Amino acid sequence: MINIAASLCLAILISAIFMLLSVSGFIAIPFGLVGGFVLFFFLGRKIQEKMEILMAQMQKDVAENKFDRAIETLKRGFAFSKRHIFVAAQLNSQIGVLYYLKKDHDKSMEYLKKGFLKHYVGQGMLACIYYKRKDMENMKSTMEDTIKGNRKEAMVYGLYAYLVYQLKEKDKAIEILQNGLKKLPKDTRLQANLTQLQNNKKMKMKVFGDAWVQFMLERPPRVMQNQPPHARMSKRAMFR
């Protein structure tokens, strides 16, 4: 990545200059690292500003139900993919999500497989595609990895539990929800579904609201309150 390389070069340069001035390496190296970090942060912020412009346009396209245009908008972001870490992976996840919402699973999978693990919506949709194609081994491995990378997201536990419950693996679904509650003990949605299963009743995923609807595993309600948050790109996730 260009920004990483530039930051490392600056860090080395600053350290070398200090050492040429007979400054101890115990001082020169930390100063160099600080200089490199500041440059990395500055360059990352510049890329973030450019990406935010694309994200705003993409959100507008989606709101107008122009998914093809939204996808083309996102693809322009690949121009920055070699400059900063995680940009390409985040874009692949976002584009894959839009293709999934278009029900173009072939194209969706093409992008989601190259997506960002922290983008749990995209990873969840990838697992759903495997599920719909009856590839349960890859569905389960995808969800296991997604949980490892998103331990504080209740939706990933709920989604995984739902998928295995559909496979008649109720005990596994209960285990998944219990693991989720260990990480999120106050989450009423996970607790409600765990109680349902323990009482031999079906899961009620509608408690997750629009976050659940976007996976298209059940018939959506007649009136959706808001556009589901499928297209939001987290600044924290992209530039961590």
The amino acid at residue 73 is T
Residue 229 has pLDDT above 60, yes or no: no
Local confidence band at 169 (pLDDT 50, 70, 90 cut-offs):
very high
Domain 119-240 superfamily per CATH: Tetratricopeptide repeat domain (1.25.40.10)
Residue 230 has pLDDT above 70, yes or no: no
pLDDT at 22: 73
- Top pLDDT among 186 and 13 is at 186
Local confidence band at 235 (pLDDT 50, 70, 90 cut-offs):
very low
State residue 48 phi and psi, 5-degree precision.
Answer: -60, -40
Task: Give the Cα separation of 200 and 82 in Å (integer).
Answer: 51
pLDDT at 220: 62
Across all residues in the chain, what is the average pLDDT?
85
Task: Give the Cα separation of 185 and 173 in Å (integer).
Answer: 17
Q: Let me know how long the chain is.
A: 240
Residue 204 has pLDDT above 90, yes or no: yes
